[in-house]
Structure 1
Amino acid sequence: MFTFAIAKLLRLLPNKAIKTPMIPLQDVKMKKDMIIETSVCRTKISFYYPLKENQKKYPVYINFHGGAFIMNEKEMDDPYCRFLSNQAGCVILNVDYAKAPEYPFPKPIQQGYDIIQWLKREADELNIDAEKIILGGQSSGANIAAALCLYLEEKGDNQPLLQVLSCPMLDFVTSHADKPEPDRWRARYPQVANFINMCYLPDNEQARNPLASPIHAEVNDRLASALMIVAEYDAFRPEAECYAEKLKASGVNVQYRLYKDCYHAFTHLGPKEKAEEAWSLIAREIKVVAES
């Protein structure tokens, strides 16, 4: 009960990322809101179709927002979904995934898998190319995207064309107190991060599960190519670097981009110039793999 009560209080805090978007709001041809059934729960999703008319079936980028697994909603990424749709010429599927502690690990991963299977079944109706799926997310959302690639490999399913991991949180084994936290308050009170971790992983033994901590996964060259967006001053930078090197060593194509003088979630909090650069890079890479 304690974790549920504190999580609900944390959700009442204002989301700084919504106040000043790093990308101006763009028109799209259509934004389509839906609720679909998954094995985890009924799930809110939004589709964004690019403004430029295109008669062929679109590639699709599935987006998982950040929020430490317990907070925020998909609408925080609305400006970026619009931007990516127009710039990459693809459909964006924005997911309001199930939050902990109500839905702890591995529920969001199972939910994501169900969404992918549903998307494939409904591809023709949605004017989507089921062979051109891309996954990505920010922070906790990047963890889910990376875990989904591992989960798809476990099941022998096709990999996405690309996994986009922005400021990814990939290591639950290492205590936050032992991570290079630049924020003095979070560094002084790592118990807050540990509480959030406990919401998502109520059983300590789950921390080493590769779907929770991808840096502990056994990887191979069948995994999707990766685009890593990493901030210089981010407590999660070492685990991102570790996972990037692990993927590279296994033969996976990895593009690792370190953004100097930036902090965690800079894609949503700034500096604006660096955020715009990162979103433009993501759009270009989505377009490249979708057209290849």
Structure 2
Amino acid sequence: MFPTIIAKLLRLYSNQSKTTPMIPQQKVKIKKDVLVETSVGPTSISFYYPLATKQKKLPLYINFHGGAFIMNDKELDDPYCRYLANQAECIVLNVEYGKAPEYPFPKAIEQGYDIFQWVKGRAEELGIEAEKVMVGGQSSGGNIAAALCLYLEEKGERQPLLQVLSCPMLDFVTPHAEKPEPGWWRSRFPKVAHFIHRCYVPGKGQAGHLLASPVRADVSGRLASALILIAESDAFRLEAECYAEKLKAAGVNVQEELFRGCSHAFTHLGPKERAEEAWQMIAGKIKAVAESPLY
């Protein structure tokens, strides 16, 4: 009961970056809201179709927003989903995954898997090119995207073409107080981060589970190609760099980009020029992967 009350209070202060998006809201051809039945319960998702495209079937990018596993909603990423749909000429699916502590690990991953399967089974009617599905997310959303790829590998199922991990949180085992954090608020109050962690991985041994802490996993070369965006002054920098190296060592195609002078969640909080650069990079990568015969 207590974690739920605190989480609800924290949610009152979330979504602050909604009011100052790094990219202006663009028109899209269609934004379609759908309610999908999943193992976690009815799940709200939104499809964004690009304003102009010559193709009858389009690649799909599935987006998981950030928010420390307990905060924000998918509308936080509305401007960015619109931008990616138009710039990458793809359909973007934005997921309203269940938040902790009401929906702790591994609920969001299972929910993502159910949606992944639901979409692929309805690709024809949705205008999706079923063989060109990609996933990605920011912060906690990056964790879910990475974990989804590992979950698919566990099940022996086909990988997405690409995983985009932006400032991903990939390590629940290392205490936040031991992570390099130049930011005053988070470095001074690591117990807040610890509370957030306990909301998502409350069970004994869950923090070290490979789907909770992908950086601890023995990765396979069959995992999806990756674009990993890392902020120089981010507590999660080392784990993102470590995961990038593990993927590379396994033979996964990895593009790793370090954004100097940036902190965690810079794609949503700025600096604006670096955020724009990051979103351009993501859109360009999605488009290039979808068009390349090498993937």
Q: Which TM-score band applies after superposition, normalised by the shorter structure?
A: over 0.9
> What is aligned with 1:286?
286
Which moved further from structure 2: 12-21 or 154-163?
12-21
What is the rounded CA distance, in whole Å, between the counterparts of 2:14 and 2:162 in structure 1?
Answer: 32
**Residue equivalent to 2:205:** 205
- Whole-Å Cα distance in 1 between the matches of residues 186 and 286 of structure 2? 34
- Specify the alignment match of 1:246 in structure 2: 246
Residue 233 of structure 2 is matched in structure 1 by 233
Letter in 1 for 2:232: E
CA contact (8 A) 2:14 2:72 kept: no
Q: What per-residue deviation string (whole Å, max 9, x for no partner) do you get for residues 240-263 of structure 1?
A: 000000000110111000001000
Task: Give the partner amino acid of 1:249.
Answer: A
User: Secondary structure of 2:205's partner?
Assistant: helix
Could you tell me which residue of structure 2 aligns to residue 67 of structure 1?
A: 67
Counterpart-to-counterpart distance in 1, 2:64 and 2:213:
17
In the other structure, the counterpart of 1:116 is: 116
Q: Following superposition, which runs of at least 4 residues in structure 1 exceed 4 angstroms of deviation?
A: none
Match of 2:216 in 1: 216
Offset from partner CA, 1:218-255 (integer Å, 9 cap, x none): 11110001000110000000000000000001101110
Give me the identity figure in percent: 70
Change (3 A) 1:275 1:2: same
Structure 1: gaps of 5 or more residues: none
1:275 and 2:275 matched: yes
Give the structure 1 partner of residue 89 of structure 2. Answer: 89
Shift of 1:53: 3.5
Deviation at 1:14, TM superposition (A): 4.3
How many residues align? The count is: 292
Q: Quote the Cα distance in structure 1 between the aligned partners of 2:21 and 2:14.
A: 14
**Cα distance in 2 between the residues matched to 1:178 and 1:201:** 18
Contact 2:226 2:254 in 1 (8 A): yes
- Structure 2 runs not aligned, ≥5 long: none
Q: Secondary structure at the residue paired with 2:46?
A: strand
Q: Over the residues paired in the alignment, what is the CA RMSD in angstroms?
A: 0.7
Partner of 2:79: 79
CA distance in 2, matches of 1:174, 1:200: 15
3-state SS of the aligned residue for 1:34?
strand
SS at match of 1:156: coil
Provide the secondary structure at the position in 2 that maps to 1:171. coil
Instruction: Provide the C-alpha distance between the structure 2 equivalents of 1:53 and 1:281, rounded to a whole number of angstroms.
Output: 20
Per the alignment, residue 145 of structure 1 pairs with: 145
User: What are the equivalent positions in structure 2 for 1:186-205 lying under 5 Å apart?
Assistant: 186-205=186-205
Q: Secondary structure at the match of 1:97?
A: coil
Residues 151-166 of structure 1: pairs in structure 2 closer than 5 A? 151-166=151-166
In 1: Cα distance, 2:194 partner to 2:31 partner: 37
Superposed counterparts of 1:99-138, under 5 Å: 99-138=99-138
The corresponding residue for 2:40 is 40
TM-score norm. by structure 1 comes to 0.99
AA paired with 1:77? D
Question: Structure 2 counterpart of 1:15, which letter?
Answer: N
Q: Structure 1 residues 94-103 or 10-19, which shifts more?
A: 10-19
Give secondary structure in 2 for the equivalent of 1:129: strand
| 1:60-84 CA distance string (max 9 Å, x none) | 0000000000000000000000000
Q: Secondary structure at the match of 1:69?
A: coil
**Distance across 2 between alignment mates of 1:118 and 1:237:** 33
**1:55, distance to aligned residue in structure 2 (A):** 3.7
Residue 29 of structure 1 is matched in structure 2 by 29
Q: Hey, what's the Cα distance between the residues in 2 that align with 1:54 and 1:176?
A: 48
Matches within 5 A, 1:2-21: 2-21=2-21
Partner letter of residue 116 of structure 2?
Answer: I
